[in-house]
Amino acid sequence: MAKLTIKDLKKSYGDVEILKGINLNIYDNEFVVFVGPSGCGKSTLLRSIAGLEEVSGGNIFIDDKDITDAAPAKRDLAMVFQSYALYPHMSVRENMAFALKLAKQPKHIIDKKIMDAAKILELDALLDRKPKELSGGQRQRVAIGRSIVRHPKVFLFDEPLSNLDAALRVQMRIELARLHHDLKATMIYVTHDQVEAMTLADKVVVLNKGRIEQVGSPMELYHNPTNIFVAGFLGMPKMSFLQAKVISANSLGLTVELSSGVDMCIPVSSDGIAKGSTVTVGIRPEHIQITDKNNSNFTGRLDVSEHLGSDTYCYVNTDANEQLTVRTPGYYQGKYGDTVGLQVDLRHCHVFNNDGQSLYKLNRSAA
Amino acid sequence: MNTTTLKVSDIKSGKKGESGVMGIAKQNAKISRYLVSPSVLLLLAWMLIPLSMTIYFSLIRFNLLYPGENEFVGLENFEFFVTDESFAAGMSNTLLLVGSVLLITVVLGVLISVVVNQAFWGRGIVRVMLISPFFIMPTVNALVWKNLLLHPVSGVFAAMWTFFGAEPVDWFTEYPLFSIIMIVSWQWLPFAILLLMTALQSLDQEQQEAARLDGAGPVDIFFHLTLPHLARPISVVVMIETIFLLSIFAEIFTTTSGGPGYETTNLAYLIYSQALLQFDVGLASAGGLIAVILANIAAFFLVRLVGKSLTEKN
Ligand SMILES: Nc1ncnc2c1ncn2[C@@H]1O[C@H](COP(=O)(O)OP(=O)(O)OP(=O)(O)O)[C@@H](O)[C@H]1O
Ligand SMILES: [Mg+2]
């Protein structure tokens, strides 16, 4: 029952504009993840939604009600902070009861809500402990519990898992996904972690320098990034970028010559691309294969290989000294300095024009 | 530190039966004992000699006006000191002075430091001005209050009273103890503010934001987050101030000289007046010992209070 609409939101600190006009629609029961490089304004946007920052322009609506100037407590949303921000002098129970007591709810209702939340988060045994006596993961659960008991319309999370170790992070990630499913609540989540973004999100919002670069489902963003920033930001390891010159353009696609002298025909729309102009070709690691160097006209020299067990990521330098990342099976044993052949899956290549905008892929349905 | 590590190595080497290492360890322990002994002895002498002299003086008749008559009188000095009407007055004045100054400095200190912790124009200069009274000597402080502020004819307060058409108050005659409390509080408030202000800087910002989202107003945040956070620094303020406030002397000496009557005589001033105004060293020594006992009782309760808040897991 909670829809969040952000219209042309601006925020400046002094002369510095941090948010430069954000427009975003978040629908009921959606799990939205904000990603972007450090300092791009993710936290600022989240805090503006929460009412902790005064905005310099634009409006925020919850269910068509303008809350731009409402006090934080009146917005009916709850926030989970990166540092948990538990009240140190109160027990777990008191932490969770605080908001309800302030709202003057009757005692038996408070107790019931706390018991319900404690059951969901498996906090039953910890209710009388102080935050200091809890582990990081337990504190995180209390912080979430504190927001659950209020039954808010929207949950806000600012990098809630970044203080946890890798194993616990995976576990909490799964618990969050389950929680979202159980509570059927609208959630907005800020993270640095690509895996969290890809696995949790219904909708990913990529921010850069105070602007939204692209909004879409994780798969859409991964396979059809609108520009070179989004393409490079999503995916681990990163997409490789190669400079190229357009040789010919027709209805089947664009034929380009890479700086290393290799020709390739990529099935993208060639609208507005002149012969001879320069473009950037983007290829993800999984769309290149290493082949026999004698059977291939595209070769490179093997740099470092990273063995992850399941896969091996090879960094290959082309003849033009551009670096390509290639995913190979885990058993691949290439040696540093080897010359290898490269085979590119042309259907999955991306081409970006001079402004960094993506050219429309002709076989989008196959993506 | 050193000796404990040596002990550990003692045990380990003892198990292996290597007597060589053990011998060195023993020798080291002996040497370190010799090395610390001069300072320990000096400290003992430093404490014990004045204390035993005071105890000795308190048990004999020792009046500078009647030299030679130094016979042993037992606890007579104590009895005399305690039963004198000035003792009851001195005790209650001491407690009243310490208690009121503590109350004023802590309450005002908390409020002022919370206000000054907000961002406003000129905060830096206000902070410096709030702290500065602490650097004024007690004697100077008392003289400034006596001659410039509270003086019934030329004081600032008198001018204010006259301006509003009221009769100027002669503070030191009409409200003597209250005037002393005012002066001492003014002197010690900066200390409380300094400690509490520093403590407030470590108050977590995100906790307050979380509380705001939970619907807490400034008053709720003050009582549920700020005050618990300040419990520890407040108890430190109380303990340190008590130690100094028990022996307030200069402020009384320069303004009221303990009067009128015994109205502003605290224990420290009482001992002084016994020893140097009535030249009775024996009586003053007895008073001094009583003051030591009193200070110890206060220290006992304070250490427990502070210790509790320091060890409390929060
Ligand atoms: N109180 C402030 N005063 C001035 N500038 C600020 C303030 N808070 C944040 N900024 C600036 O706003 C920009 C965005 O900050 P924000 O915290 O939103 O980044 P972020 O995207 O959350 O980064 P991170 O991923 O590192 O948390 C940064 O450049 C930061 O320096
Ligand atoms: Mg941030």
pLDDT per residue as tens digits for the range A307-326:
999 999 999 999 889 999 99
Q: How far is residue B88 CA from its own chain's centroid?
A: 21
Is any ligand 1 atom within 6 A of the Cβ of residue A40? yes
Q: Which helix (H) or strand (E) holds A324?
A: strand A323-329
* Closest in A77, A83, A90 to B206, CB measured: A83
How are strands ordered across the β-sheet holding A350-352? A263-266, A253-258, A240-250, A278-283, A350-352
Whether residues B118 and B222 fall in one domain: yes
CA distance A85 to chain B (A): 5
Closest listed residue to residue B314, CA positions, set B252, B225, B251, B240: B225
Looking at the structure, tell me whether residues B44 and B138 fall in a common domain: no
> What is the identity of the amino acid at B225?
L
Architecture, CATH, for domain A237-366: Beta Barrel (2.40)
Q: Do B179 and B290 lie in a common domain?
A: yes
Query: How much is the average pLDDT of B126-137?
Result: 86
Nearest to A131 by CA among A90, A159, A164: A90
Among A9, A10, A44, residue to substitute to test ligand 1 (most atoms within 8 Å of Cβ): A44
Show the tokens assigned to B193: 């503010």
**Closest C-alpha among A303, A309, A276 to residue A290:** A303
Q: Is the Cβ atom of A262 under 6 angstroms away from ligand 1?
A: no
> Phi-psi region for residue A252, left (φ > 0), alpha (ψ -120 to 50) or beta?
alpha
- Pick the more confident residue, B63 or A99: A99
CATH number of the structural domain spanning residue B202: 1.10.3720.10
Token code pair at residue B159: 């001018």
Q: Which one, of B272, B104, B118, lies nearest residue B191 by Cα?
A: B104
Pairs of residues, one from chain A and one from chain B, whose beta carbons lie less than 8 Å apart: 69
A78 to B213: CB separation less than 8 angstroms, yes or no: yes
Check CB contact under 8 Å for B210 and A77: no
Residue B10: predicted pLDDT: 44
Residues B300 and B151 in one domain: yes
Return the pLDDT at A40: 92
Residue B72, in any domain of the structure: no
Q: Does A89 touch chain B (CB under 8 A)?
A: yes
State the DSSP H helix or E strand holding residue A351, giving kind and residue range, or none if neither.
strand A350-352
Q: pLDDT tens across B3-40, in order?
A: 444 444 444 444 444 455 667 778 888 888 888 889 99
- Tokens 């001195």 -> residue: B90
How many separate domains does chain B show?
A: 2
pLDDT in tens, A233-246: 998 899 999 999 99
User: Is residue B149 classed as helix, strand or coil in its secondary structure?
Assistant: helix
Say how far apart CA A300 and CA A316 lie, in whole Å.
6
- Given a cut of 90, whether residue A222 has pLDDT beyond it is yes
Distance CA A342, CA A239 (A): 16
Rounded to two decimals, the pTM is 0.78
Q: A141 near A119, Cβ under 8 Å?
A: no
CA distance B79 to A171: 75
Q: In terms of domains, do B119 and B233 share one?
A: yes
pLDDT exceeds cutoff 50 at B1: no
If phi > 0 it is left, if psi is from -120 to 50 it is alpha, else beta; for residue A151 that is: left
What's residue B11's pLDDT? 43
Q: Are residues B279 and B171 in the same domain?
A: yes
Which residue is listed with tokens 């003053």?
B284
User: What residues make up the domain containing B5?
Assistant: 1-58
**pLDDT above 80 (res B76):** no
**What value does the mean pLDDT take over residues B169-185?**
85
Lowest-confidence pick of A213-217, A226-230, A309-313, B155-159: B155-159
- Give the residue from chain A lying closest to B313, CA to CA: A132
Task: Quote the CA–CA distance of A39 and A18 in Å, as a whole number.
Answer: 9
Are B53 and B116 in a shared domain?
A: no
Q: What distance in Å separates the CA atoms of residue A80 and residue A152, rounded to the nearest whole number?
A: 12
Site of tokens 């002298």 = A261
Residues B270-293: what's their mean pLDDT?
81
Sign of the CA dihedral B253, B254, B256, B257? positive
* A78 to chain B: closest CA residue: B213
Cβ distance A73 to B225 less than 8 Å, yes or no, reads: no
Domain check: are B284 and B156 in the same one?
A: yes
The finding on whether A22 has its CB within 6 A of some atom of ligand 1 is no
Measure the CA–CA gap between B246 and A60, rounded to whole angstroms.
Answer: 60
Residue A190 CA to ligand 1 centre (angstroms): 13
Helix (H, G, I), strand (E, B) or coil at B313: coil
- For the cut 90, the answer to whether the pLDDT of residue A49 exceeds it is yes
d(CA B63, CA B70): 8
Q: Is the pLDDT of residue B196 over 70?
A: yes
Residues of B in contact with A99 (CB under 8 A): 213-215
- Using the beta-carbon criterion (under 8 Å), do A132 and B204 form an inter-chain contact? no
Bridge partner list, A300: A318, A340
pLDDT of residue B20: 59
Position A89, amino acid: H
**Residue from A18, A33, A48 whose mutation best tests the ligand 1 pocket (most atoms within 8 A of CB):** A18
CATH homologous superfamily of A4-226 equals: P-loop containing nucleotide triphosphate hydrolases (3.40.50.300)
Chain B residues whose CB is inside 8 A of the A133 CB are 313
For residues A161 and B191, give the distance between their C-alpha atoms in angstroms, rounded to a whole number. 41
pLDDT at B6: 42
Q: Is residue B275 helix, strand or coil? A: helix
Residues B108 and B43 in one domain: no
- The pLDDT of residue B19 is 55
**Residue-wise pLDDT tens digits, A177-195:** 988 988 888 999 999 888 8
Ligand nearest to the CA of A44: 1
Rounded mean pLDDT of A217-234? 93
State if residue A18 touches ligand 1 by the CB under 6 angstroms criterion. yes
Chain B positions touching chain A (beta carbons under 8 Å): 204, 206-207, 209-216, 220, 224-225, 228-229, 313-314
Residue B122 has pLDDT above 90, yes or no: no
Averaged pLDDT, A285-293: 91
Q: What is the mean pLDDT of residues B178-203?
A: 90
> Measured between alpha carbons, how far apart are the two ends of chain A, in Å?
34
B196 lies in the same domain as B294: yes
Residue B105 sits in the same domain as residue B33: no
pLDDT band at B312 (very low <50, low <70, confident <90, very high): low
Predicted confidence (pLDDT) at residue B68 exceeds the cutoff of 80: no
Percent of chain B residues past pLDDT 90, beyond the cut: 13
| pLDDT score, position A165 | 84
What is the number of the ligand closest to the CA of A193?
A: 1
Which of A81, A98, A132 is facing B214, going by the closest CB pair?
Answer: A98
CB-based contact (8 Å) between A83 and chain B? yes
- What is the percentage of chain A residues whose pLDDT exceeds 70? 99
User: Rounded to an integer, what distance in angstroms lies between the CA atom of residue B87 and that of residue B175?
Assistant: 20
Rounded to 5, what percent of chain B is helix, strand, coil? 80, 0, 20
Question: Which pLDDT belongs to residue A314?
Answer: 93
Given a cut of 90, whether residue B257 has pLDDT beyond it is: no
Q: Is residue B235 scored above 80 in pLDDT?
A: yes
Using a CB-CB cut-off of 8 Å, the residues of chain B touching A150 are 214
Tell me how far apart the alpha carbons of residues A242 and A56 are, in angstroms, rounded to a whole number: 40
Q: Where are the domains of chain A?
A: 4-226, 237-366
